[in-house]
Structure 1
């Protein structure tokens, strides 16, 4: 039993793999992984549910995946259940409604797309209030984002902010793309990054000519950062299955190794139908 991966470890590994665009089709085509992620939507640990939703959100970014994802047994119903569940955190409901809208629109005619989008937005408004009608994306250029240790500091800082939905790091260019609620100010992200004492963030925006402009956040900003409390503990990096690179889906190298890990995950998911 000691060698058996737990639900959080497995779903976090799938989330990390799904973050890479080159892995998304393989995960959806693998028998067991997509259906397993759907099962995680009903897991009692809210962190497992959120991580599974984030993995599915990444997978839905690949247009060729959307039809199969929409047709997957239980996908749409499970997303609706998350949106309607009274105990689901606000960010979790918003992420579920966003995925639902993407998949619904991909399988409908134009008229049906508009109706589905309006329906999903109404659901998000009903459960989250008028201040959270939409999410927005903020691109951060982070000075000092040099290694995995600094990345972990950023993750911890961003996870504490109430209103952060998801984030993706682009380590090669020292950037972080953050999805936040529309009522959350971007300055709150800059304040959180600055609180690490090792890094400083700038917001990347498009200029009138289409070029990128990095705008520094005010160091003496008086923006109040509302924090999440009682967050579940995240797995340490050195214990995460993502470090076992010989078992992960990789850009180069043996495809069989990637399939082997996905099969292992699928077997775990099939054995974990009940929690």
Structure 2
């Protein structure tokens, strides 16, 4: 196995483990994983960089992680380098910028916490916490037919063809996909892309003012214009063979126990391959 393939595998696994909220504190506290992700941000392969950004974005969702992440050697500088590098795809720069803004605010959050507490009761929970970024928004989709890893791969491929998709995560148990998109992209475009697979049907999940959840079908027969992505690397493949344990590590409640063994393996790889 080549060194680059090893790097792709490791960063892909770290991204999937970071998608589970139960794993986020452990990854940041580990002595090798967070520094390794920072090194991945400077990797020559754009696929590795983008997946590392997704992992860092997940980790930053845990408010308790942000101060440590901001202070980690090389974190803010590496994010700035990705944002400023002329060869970085547009969506990669946007994701790095969003992470940078979240971490920049880390030191101010405690001072503003009391004031924000009253307002937070009125705000609806969102998948990504960086809602102050007016350039991005979150769309929740319910996808009939999202039954297995093969269908998930089809859905990934369809979403990644859309210009303006920043990142996404799947909740397989409830057939949901939470998508972070640019503010100028419509939810209908996501529905059109997923429906084009011919084996899945997407509907949008919204909440009423009373907090009740509604599932709204996209208008039948209408197809939103989808601008295809040409400047973003392919999404990293899911390494699911030969067993189902990796899928469980991402979606099953209590996955921290399953994930820690792989975290140790990842940390050992990072120490062996990247520190010199």
TM-score by length of 1: 0.82
Aligned to 1:34: 34
**Which residue is 1:157 aligned to?**
158
- Label 1:10 to 1:207 Cα distance change in 2 as closer, same or farther (>3 A): same
Residue 84 of structure 1 is matched in structure 2 by 84
| CA distance in structure 1 between the aligned counterparts of 2:94 and 2:256, rounded to whole angstroms | 37
Task: Note if contact 2:240-2:247 (Cα within 8 Å) is conserved in structure 1.
Answer: no
* 2:205 aligned residue: 204
3-state SS of 1:139 partner? strand
Task: Give the Å deviation of 1:237.
Answer: 3.9
SS of 2:108 mapped into structure 1 = coil
Give 1:72 shift. Answer: 0.4
Gaps of at least 5 residues in structure 1 are 113-131
Q: Which residue is equivalent to 2:115? A: none
SS of the residue corresponding to residue 168 of structure 1 reads: strand
Distance in 1 separating the partners of 2:162 and 2:82? 22
Contact 2:249/2:255 (8 A) holds in 1: no
Partner of 1:181: 182
**Conservation of the 8 A alpha-carbon contact between 1:27 and 1:33:** yes
- Say which of 235, 238, 241 aligns to 2:237: 235
Q: Given the superposition, is the C-alpha separation of residues 198 and 61 from structure 1 closer, same or farther in structure 2, using an over 3 Å criterion?
A: same
Q: Is the 8 A contact 1:24 1:59 kept in 2?
A: yes
The 1-side partners of 2:103 and 2:134 are apart by 19
Q: Look up the SS of the partner of 1:180 in the other structure.
A: strand
Name 1:18's counterpart in structure 2: 18
| SS of equivalent residue, structure 1 residue 6 | helix
Which residue in the other structure is 2:262 paired with?
261
Confirm or deny: 8 A CA contact 1:247 1:258 kept in the other structure. Answer: no
- For the 8 Å contact 1:237–1:243, the answer to whether it is kept is no
Question: Bigger shift: 183-192 or 257-266?
Answer: 257-266
The structure-2 alpha-carbon separation of the partners of 1:179 and 1:94, relative to structure 1 and needing over 3 Å to count, comes to same
SS at match of 2:179: strand
Would the aligned equivalents of 1:15 and 1:54 in 2 still touch at CA under 8 Å?
Answer: yes
Match of 1:61?
Answer: 61
8 Å Cα contact 1:166/1:179 also seen in 2 = yes
Partner of 2:71: 71
2:163 aligned counterpart, secondary structure: coil
- Report Cα offsets for 1:222-249 as digits up to 9, x if no partner: 4211112374474354459x95549969
Aligned-residue offset at 1:97: 1.0
Change (3 A) 1:172 1:239: closer
> In structure 2, what is the Cα distance between the partners aligned to 1:33 and 1:51?
14
Distance between the aligned counterparts of 2:55 and 2:14, measured in 1? 7
Secondary structure in 2 aligned to 1:209? Answer: coil
Q: Secondary structure at the match of 2:181?
A: strand
Aligned mates of 1:253, 1:22 — CA distance in 2: 7
Q: Is the contact made by 1:141 and 1:201 (CA closer than 8 Å) also made in structure 2?
A: yes
Number of aligned residues: 254
Whether the aligned pair in 1 keeps the contact of 2:69 and 2:75 (CA below 8 Å) is: yes
Greater mean deviation of Cα atoms: 19-28 or 229-238: 229-238
- What secondary structure, in the 3-state scheme, does the structure 1 residue paired with 2:105 have? helix
CA contact (8 A) 1:142 1:199 kept: yes
Distance 1:74 1:254 in 2: 27
Moved more, 258-267 or 211-220: 258-267
